[in-house]
Amino acid sequence: MARARVPAAFSRSDWAYLLEAVRALPQRPAGRTPRDPVVLWLPGNVALLGAHAVTLAAWTGARVVAKLPTDAPADLTEAWVGWLHEHGTLADRVKLTRCGHDAAAALSATAGARIVFGSDEAVAAIRALPHRPGASWAGFGARRSEAWIDREAAHDPEAVRALVKAFAVFGRAGCTSPARAVLVDGTPAEADALRDRLVAAWPSVVLEPVEMHRASQNAMAEQVAAARGFAPLRTAGGSAVVASGPASAGDLPGPTTLPVVAATLREAAETAPANLQTVGHATADPAAWATTVGTTAACRFVSLADMHVFGPVWDSQDWWADLWR
């Protein structure tokens, strides 16, 4: 694919991600035909995921119909598909739609493969729609992720920045975004110190000012966190709240509130949510944690930098391989 300057709709990192996704397209299996058409129900505002999924689906050679959420604003998937159309690559077979329920049911009935990103309820509802016998299915429901960081990494400026970066992309909105940071084998005082380093690092990682609504919500989140026994700090300009507290404490509100807890590896696993998807790690020896991570629901154990990297295997489902007969 020809090098191109970054189109206006994308940030440099978004563009880099999508170009890398194209470079890393999997090899097409010999002697097999793609299921056709592939119908995708794309997620709310995690747009890179949608763009990547559409690319992988179209790479099979099948026709692709991607349903965007009806009330979501225009997102990167549309811009990406538009760019692909313009450059004559893949997208001649890709159609984007914001159809209603009846039309979506008709799409389901004709799909050779159905792939859904949504709430558990939405995934179940779409699964129950009429469909062709033999059509493949992949459903990705509500999941949460965490960042686990060891005491050495907590003092490593690059690891701290990586954690800020992993969290700042989607805040608490993305399934791959760390909803909690665990300082493995740390003390409460060390969790407080990690919180301080995260807050200090934030302005150097997140350069754009936050929207007014988010700043306001973070003011609220800081107060609720304090009321619930956390020790919160709001970043400069109100972009985020980082709150140190006990591992056993409940969840916190706010779109960019990151709880930081000190816990043993076992406590981290025991207090992890039942719908844990990804553990992003910052440790010199991830293998030492792998067994414990395996006792949780997590199906991804990757570095902090790779938390948001989507791929042909997702949530333990080999969904791209299932696009082939």
Partner 1 sequence: MDLVNPWGARDDEALLDDLLAVTRHHLDGCAAYRAMWPGWEGAETIAELPWVHVGAFKHLDLRTSADGLEHGRTLLSSATGGTSSRIALDARSSALQAASTTSVLASLVGDRQRPLLVLDHPSALRGRAGVAARIAAAMALKPLSSDLRFLLAEPDRPQSVKAVGEDDDLLLYGFTWMLWQAAEHLDFGGARVQVVHSGGWKKLEALAVTREELDAKVLATAGPGSAVWDCYGLVEQVGMLFPLCEAGHRHLPRWGAVLVRDPWTLEPLEPGSLGMLQLLNPLAWGAPYHSVLTEDLGRVHPGACPCGRDGVAFDLAGRVPKAEVRGCANV
Q: Smallest gap, in angstroms, from Cβ of residue 174 to partner 1?
A: 6
Nearer to partner 1, 62 or 68 (CB): 68
Nearer to partner 1, 225 or 293 (CB): 225
Q: Are 66 and 42 in contact (CB under 8 A)?
A: yes
Residue 91 is given by DSSP the state: G
Residue identified by tokens 């949780």 is 296
Enter the tokens of residue 81.
Answer: 């598909």
Between strands 241-245 and 231-234, the pairing is antiparallel
Closest to partner 1 by CB, 212 vs 287, is 212
CB of 219 to partner 1, least distance (A): 5
Give the nearest distance from C-beta 43 to partner 1 in angstroms: 4
Q: How far is the CB of 292 from partner 1 (least distance, A)?
A: 25
Least distance CB 186 / partner 1 (angstroms)? 23
Alpha-carbon distance of 301 to 167, in angstroms, equals 16
Question: Which residues have CB under 8 Å from 35's CB, separation 6+?
Answer: 60, 62, 112, 113, 135, 136, 322, 323, 324, 325
Between 165 and 172, whose beta carbon lies closer to partner 1?
172
User: Smaller CB distance to partner 1: residue 55 or 177?
Assistant: 177
**Which residue, 278 or 292, has its beta carbon nearer to partner 1?**
278
Task: Output the smallest distance, CB 53 to partner 1, in A.
Answer: 11
Which pair of structure tokens corresponds to residue 287?
């293998």
Choice between 219 and 284, CB closer to partner 1: 219
Q: What are phi and psi of 91, to 5 degrees?
A: -75, -5
Q: Is 320 helix (H, G, I), strand (E, B) or coil?
A: coil
> Could you tell me the two tokens for 130?
């009429």
| Residue 45, helix vs strand vs coil | coil
CB of 1 to partner 1, least distance (A): 27
Q: What share of residues in the chain are helix, strand, coil (percent, to 5)? A: 40, 20, 40
Check the CA dihedral 262-267-268-272 and report its sign: negative
Question: Which residues contact partner 1 (rule: CB under 8 A)?
Answer: 41-46, 49, 69, 72, 116-120, 122, 140-143, 170-176, 209-217, 219-220, 223-224, 226-229, 237-238, 253, 255
